[in-house]
Amino acid sequence: MARPGGVAAADRWSVAAPLPRGANHVGVAVLDSRLYAIGGFVEQNRRPHGECFSYEFGADRWAARDPLPSARAGGGPVMGGGVQSAVHEAFALA
């Protein structure tokens, strides 16, 4: 379990809230103390999806974000200068 401020106990894994949408090849990035999970494949790499979620460490919860304009998987987002524009731009050419 995370300590206040979102810092996990040293040298120890802990269980956190599960990602609302199970997938693989999910784009992951951190911005402003939140973890973002963007797109990914479902059905054993057969179908990408465009859902986006952010994880709040201190509260141990995921929140749905605006979806991508189209389904994407396997991208490597770079965050900065505004979440939505950065996320959509990162996957525009994927």
Query: Pairing between strand 34-42 and 47-56?
Result: antiparallel
Mean pLDDT score across all residues of the chain:
78
Indicate whether 81 pLDDT > 90: no
Q: What is the pLDDT of residues 49-74, one digit of tens each?
A: 999 999 999 899 999 998 988 888 88
Cα–Cα distance measured from residue 83 to residue 27, given in angstroms and rounded to the nearest whole number:
13
Structure tokens at 18: 């599960």
Q: In the prediction, which pLDDT does 65 show?
A: 93
| Selected residue with higher pLDDT from 94 and 70 | 70
Cα–Cα distance measured from residue 94 to residue 16, given in angstroms and rounded to the nearest whole number:
29
Q: What is the pLDDT of residues 21-37, one digit of tens each?
A: 889 989 888 888 888 99
Contacts of 15 (CB under 8 A, 6+ apart): 1
